[in-house]
Structure 1
Amino acid sequence: MADPRRRRRRYAYGPYVGGPDPLAPPYDIRAAMDQIGRDVMEGSSPRQALQELLRRGLDGRRGLDDLTRRVWERRRDLQRDNRIDGTLQEVRELLQRALDAEREALGHEDSDDARFREMQLDALPSDTGGSVRELGEYDWRSSEARETYQEIRDLLGREMLDQRFEGMKQALESMGRNATPEGRAARERINAMLDDLNDLLDRHARGEDTTEQFAEFMRSHGEHFPENPQNTDELVDALAARAAAAQRMMNSMSAEQRAELAELAQQAFGDPRLSQSLARLDAQLQGLRPGEDWSGEGDFRGENPMGMGEATRAMEELGQLDALAEQLAQSYPGARMEDIDLDALTEMLGPEAAADARTLAELERELQRQDLFRRAPDGSLLLSPKALRTLGQSVLRDVADRISGRQGQRDTRRAGAAGDATGATRPWAFGDTQAWSVPRTLLNAQLRRAGGDDRALDVSDVEIVETEQRTRAAVTLLVDTSWSMVAEGRWVPMKRTALALHQLISTRFRGDDLSLITFGRHAQTVDLAELIGLEGVYRQGTNLHHALLLARERLAARPDATPVVLVVTDGEPTAHLEPDGEAFFDYPPSPYTLRATVDGLDRLIGMDAAFTFFVLGDDPGLLSFVNRLARRAGGRVVQPDLDGLGAEVVSDYLRRRTG
């Protein structure tokens, strides 16, 4: 009979639901560039757009904003839930227990000495520190009270050392109380360590070579330093950070609490040497590392009391959280993602937070490595031509999808509508029907085989011959950049339209010429990078007249090409160019402006240019005026919605391009 434990196991598979897919690529460069490109088109600089991407995150991963929020939440919870007078509270409780035990023992004695001792106890100072000091020479009658009082001294010593040295409190607790031989020996070793440490730092502060002394110190006392410093400077760094946190903890207390702790410190282990050695150590560390935060404080207002060591660690944690918040903000000059302390982030927020930060840093490096940004002469960050091509491919793909969905067409990836070869080739892609370039295909195969791939021919080797139509077009795209385009949310669609048309012409119709002309109060010819990075400026004026004049200049330079004029606008002409080169503005539109605009149109009509006007919005005055212009020029008017602007412009270009 078959063993039921060996039955076939059944597995069910489904989508991963524990967060981002661990098997997915860490980031999507194309998606990142889409986000950056949109922010740039909305008016952000490339550097601001990159920072915004890192702040928001990508592909379901947390961005810097979310990580910063969690840092501040942890900081808030740490201060809200705890208070730093735990050691004082514990000392008060132990003192009260010792006094109660002593009074009980004295109450059972019927003697003048017992009454005198009761008077001594009643006359103790009202502050805890003064009471503990006065009781230092008291001859306890109760053994329980004596042990409790000794526990106060041991507690103070352990807490003071726990402020400065990680793990020493636990080591001291395991060695027993100060009254035992083991405890006394442990305290003597600590005093010796502090003396050696102060001597080492004293020589280091004088500029002497402490290499040998440091090595000897670590051989003798290295178990007290789990940080494992490799030289005196690293030792000073570790001790100074902890000592500064201890000082900030003291600064966070009231003046009365600080005075009580200072008084109690003299009673640590029943020996003032510990307090004196630590005071000397703090003074030396503050002199060696004045840049540490020795004057800050924290606002702890919770109910959970922390001992001096715990409170110091809490202050250290606050310091780490503040440093992480600054690193995550990336707001200081020269900030980089590599500045983020991933070890500290793991400790504070967990490994998933560190993984998200690491992914963002890798994304930033990859964007830089792929040359998607370039430095301008003034030091600012600009999108590189490669980045513009990447954005253009994405925008053109979206436009092609809209055209295909509306008209049942698809992106054929043809460089022309059949005809003459351009002399250029490109890798074959699914859907291409052009002829193969045999020489390039065979050369690619040979190069691949030389690299160790023994396949005779692979689809990746294939290159096709690009063709172009026998007619060429000179296209001028005139885009309105008046303030209304920004105010009405038409700024980004306008830029995406120009980007899509530029990508189409530069990759599929390389023989055509595209000129980009912007017109606000004035008009100017710009390149693609200038248009994409153009910021909206609050200045009234729609100078279509000036734009038409510039379009005529551009078309006149290509007399062998078919002239095409595409105009994108959302307002009537309100400005025109005067003979002296100044712009005249008037609203409502002046008859002189309308007459000048018609005159500019007539000059282009004389060149047999084909016109299409793309009207944004529903201004009846604009639509009426543009309809009259279109009838005069034999052109057409299109009134697209914003999402369809790019598809309409590209479709119109293709329609005119293919006749």
Structure 2
Amino acid sequence: MTRFTYGQYYDGPDPLAPPVDLRDALDAIGRDVMDGRSPRSALEELLRRGTRQNAGLDELTRRLWEKRSQIQRRHNLDGTLQQVRQLLDEAVSAEKTALFPDPDDDARFREAQLDALPSGTAAAIRELSEYDWRSDEAREKYEQIRNLLGQELMESRFQGMKQALEGMSQEDTERIRAMMADLNDLLLAHLRGDDTTAQFQEFMRRHGEFFPENPRNTEELVDALAARAAAAQRMMNSMSDQQRAELSDLMASAFGDPRLLEQVSTLDANLRALRPGEDWTGSARFRGNQPLGMGEGAQAMADLAELDALAEQLSQSYPGARLEDIDLEALERQLGDEARVDARRLAELEQQLRDQGLLERAPDGSLRLSPKALRRLGQTALKDVLATARRTGERDSALSGAVGEPTGATRPWEFGDTAPWDVSRTVRNAVLRSAGGPVSLDVVDVEVTETEQRTRAAVALCVDTSWSMVQDGRWVPMKRTALALHQLISTRFRTDALQLITFGRHARSVELPELVGLEGVWEQGTNLHHALLLAGQHLRKHSDAQPVVLVVTDGEPTAHLEPDGEAEFAYPPEPRTLRKTVAEVDALAKLGASVTVFMLGDDPRLAQFVDLIARRSGGRVVAPDLDGLGAAVVGDYLRGRRGR
């Protein structure tokens, strides 16, 4: 009988985690790009902000600073001093209790000795080093002081040593002394430049139990020890002068052997020489009332340094920064497994955006949206536009043409489609999906026949890019409208010719990527005259096509083009500007094009002017809100190519 064993999954990403949502990520980047950000800054903003599935870099950084603040706000560094003082007081009290019933002079002399002890903790302990304790309890308390100091001293340099040294014997103390001596010999040889491979292996064979990090060579051993020693030094730097002097004096009593402190001092000197780049001079301010011992204080300083390093990694503000730089193990230690997952998924998101070809390098080295990304943005924009059109009573023509002549192409059926089914492809899809089993027809199998109109259209979309469009929040809706129209024409009306024209002080024809990435600039002038000139040139290039001219603007014309190619600006508009603009409208009307104006805002002067344009060209004036702009433009395009 087959048996299975189940356990926690450790190796690599979670195989059951939901896939990265590239569409939402791309939509967010697209919105920022259309709002004027560069693709690189839009990507960085997405990573800082995060997605619906996981926290961003800003949130992870906030958690880091919150933990850092908690460490400093809750703790202080005099835990070892407090513990030693308490044990000393208990030892002296127990000794006096034992001496009190004894009537002889020796007992009185001993009491006088105890009463005359120095006020300083270190000096009192040093003076009692030769004292012959009568009380067993007092002697035990004093030995606890020595052991505590030794454990704290070792813990401040070797993480996890304090627990290993609890209940240690004299033989254990000798082993520590031997380890320290061998360690300093190894580091000194390494400092001289000797080959320490064999010496390191012998050292780990003899003393490897003291190093749970399991370093593989001398360099890794030095890295671990130097980081811990530097943290211990920063802890000492963070104390007051009095605390630092008191603790330094106390360390000479560690395990009752001042030679251990000498070994530690030698170790610190060797590590400083080997790793001068470590932070040996830093400090931190602790304001809390929860005392930390030396080992805990060194760990707190190490945590603060690790938190600072993680914050720098998350900032991604240094040259060549990559999300792969983030130390995921350190992040998990400080913030937990959820933070590690969030950081890893952000790195995966960035990598997949590049791997999927949604971001690409321009010839000048800058980052830009790829054609694939623009198509996806266009799909989203068109979907939103059609959804708005349905809510407002507009009908989406799913046909690629009004007359209904088959193109030979098919597409998957979508809800609301009225096009005829392609029966053969529908049945074929059902058979393939059934994989040799009973064939059943499902909605996912259905494909419909695409049709095209016998006539094609030449479409000029003229969009106002003057500063008022940016200032009044019309910049992104304008770009999304262009995206939606471009997507509709490129996928369903492929024979139509679309020209995108921007106009501010001057007008120019642009491609979709340029319009999407266009940044708003302070520029006076709404040169509709120049835009209509370019629209006319486009219509004449496609004289066999049905002409469609669409204008999106929020201001009356305030500039026109002179014969020398220079733009002349005036506000309020000069009659000459208005006459030139109206003359160009008349020229378009002779080509059979009516001009539909989508008026944004409620400027009465603009309303009067666009009404004049509509009457002279046989066009319309539409005053949509920003949410309905796309639906209005797409709907008018569909009506125009069907009705003319």
Distance, in Å, in 2 between the alignment partners of 1:208 and 1:454 is 72
Alpha-carbon distance in 2 for matches of 1:201, 1:453: 69
Question: Which is further off, 452-461 or 327-336?
Answer: 452-461
Given candidates 265, 281, 299, the residue that maps to 2:267 is 281
Q: 1:34 aligns with which of 27, 36, 40?
A: 27
Matched, 1:613 2:606: no
Q: Greater shift after overlay, 67-76 or 641-650?
A: 67-76
CA shift, 1:131, in A, is: 2.9
SS in 2 for 1:566: strand
Residue of structure 2 aligned with 1:217, choices 193, 203, 224: 203
How many angstroms does 1:228 deviate by?
Answer: 1.3
Conserved in 2, the CA contact under 8 Å of 1:195 and 1:277? yes
Number of residues paired by the alignment? 625
Q: 1:432 to 1:134 in 2, by over 3 A?
A: farther
Alignment partner of 1:604 is 2:597: no
2:316 is matched with which residue: 301, 326, 330?
A: 330
Is this contact kept in 1: 2:548–2:641, CA < 8 A?
no
The alignment status of 1:82 with 2:75, answered yes or no, reads yes
Q: Residue 207 of structure 2 aligns to a residue in which SS?
A: helix
1:246 to 1:368, Cα distance in 2 relative to 1, 3 A: same
| Partner secondary structure for residue 479 of structure 1 | strand
Inter-partner Cα distance in structure 1 for 2:411 and 2:197: 64
Give, in angstroms, the shift of residue 47 of structure 1.
Answer: 2.0
* Map 1:307-346 → 2, pairs under 5 A: 307-346=293-332
From 151, 159, 163, the equivalent of 1:166 is 159
Give the distance between the partners of 2:246 and 2:586, measured in 1 at CA: 93
Q: Mark the CA change 1:368 to 1:550 in structure 2 (over 3 Å): closer, same or farther.
A: same
Partners of 1:445 and 1:456 within 8 A in 2: no
Native 8 Å contact 2:56 2:346 kept in 1: yes
| 1:131 paired residue number | 124
Q: Which moved more, 1:96-105 or 1:165-174?
A: 96-105
Structural mapping, 1:260-271, within 5 Å = 260-271=246-257
Tell me the CA shift for residue 456 of structure 1. 11
1:230 to 213, 216, 222: 216
2:479 to 473, 476, 495: 495
2:10 alignment partner in structure 1: none
Would you say 1:506 and 2:499 are equivalent positions? no
1:170–1:495 CA distance, 2 compared to 1 (3 A):
same
Distance 1:76 1:426 in 2: 62
Tell me what 2:551 maps to.
567
Task: Give, in angstroms, the shift of residue 95 of structure 1.
Answer: 2.5
Which sits farther off after the overlay, 638-647 or 400-409?
Answer: 400-409
Q: Does 1:255 align with 2:241?
A: yes
The equivalent residue for 2:610 is: 626
Partner letter of residue 602 of structure 2?
Answer: D
Report 1:259-408 matches (<5 A). Answer: 259-407=245-393
**Residue type of the alignment partner of 2:280:** W
Of 450, 461, 470, which residue of structure 2 is paired with 1:486? 470
Are 1:614 and 1:638, in contact at CA under 8 Å, matched by a contact in 2?
A: yes
Deviation at 1:654, TM superposition (A): 0.3
CA distance in 1, matches of 2:20, 2:326: 19
Q: CA deviation at 1:212?
A: 1.8
CA contact (8 A) 1:613 1:626 kept: yes
Matched position secondary structure for 1:608: coil
1:635 to 619, 627, 636: 619
Change (3 A) 1:23 1:267: closer
Aligned residue identity for 1:279: S
**Paired residues of 2:231 and 2:280 also in contact (CA < 8 A):** yes
Alpha-carbon shift at residue 426 of structure 1 (Å): 4.7
SS at match of 2:392: helix
AA at the equivalent of 2:368:
L
Distance 1:122 1:245 in 2: 38
The answer to whether residue 542 in structure 2 is matched with residue 558 in structure 1 is: yes
d(CA) in 1 for partners of 2:635, 2:456: 17
Deviation larger for 301-310 or 53-62: 53-62
Kept in 1: contact 2:459–2:499 (CA 8 A): yes
Which of 475, 490, 501 is the matching residue for 1:517? 501
Q: Residue deviations 1:423-476, cap 9 Å, x none?
A: 6x354334373574979997x999x89xx9657999888876643211111111
Contact 1:245-1:316 within 8 A present in 2 as well:
yes
**Aligned with 1:174: secondary structure?**
coil
Percent identical: 64
| RMSD, aligned α-carbons | 2.8
Partner of 1:197, secondary structure, is: helix
Q: Deviations over 1:262-304 (max 9, x none)?
A: 1111121121221111111112222222232222222211111
Q: Which moved more, 1:428-437 or 1:241-250?
A: 428-437
One-letter code of the match for 1:57? G
Describe the SS at the equivalent of 1:407.
coil
Q: Aligned equivalents of 1:416 and 1:235: distance in 2?
A: 74
Match of 1:593 among 577, 593, 614: 577
Q: Could you tell me how far apart the structure 1 residues matched to 2:331 and 2:460 are?
A: 53
AA of the residue aligned to 1:151: Q
User: In the alignment, what sits opposite 1:417?
Assistant: 402
| Distance change in 2, residues 1:426/1:292 (3 Å) | farther
State the alpha-carbon separation in 1 of the partners of residues 615 and 223 from structure 2: 80
Question: Structure 1 residues 61-70 or 248-257, which shifts more?
Answer: 61-70
1:195 has 2:188 as partner: no
The answer (yes or no) to whether the contact 1:373–1:382 under 8 Å persists in 2 is: yes
Match of 1:8? none
Deviations 1:588-633 (CA, angstroms, capped at 9, x unpaired): 2222322222233233233222210000010001000111122122
Offset of residue 477 of structure 1: 0.6
Gaps of 5+ in 2: 1-14
Matched, 1:146 2:139: yes
State the alpha-carbon separation in 1 of the partners of residues 508 and 394 from structure 2.
37
**Partner SS state of residue 564, structure 2:** coil
Instruction: Answer whether contact 1:27 1:59 (CA < 8 A) is retained.
Output: no
Structure 1 alignment gaps of length 5 or more = 1-21, 176-182
* Conserved 8 A contact 2:33-2:516: yes
Contact 1:437–1:465 under 8 Å retained in 2: no
CA distance in 1, matches of 2:262, 2:568: 83
AA aligned opposite 1:509: F
Contact between 2:585 and 2:595, CA under 8 Å: does it hold in 1? Answer: no
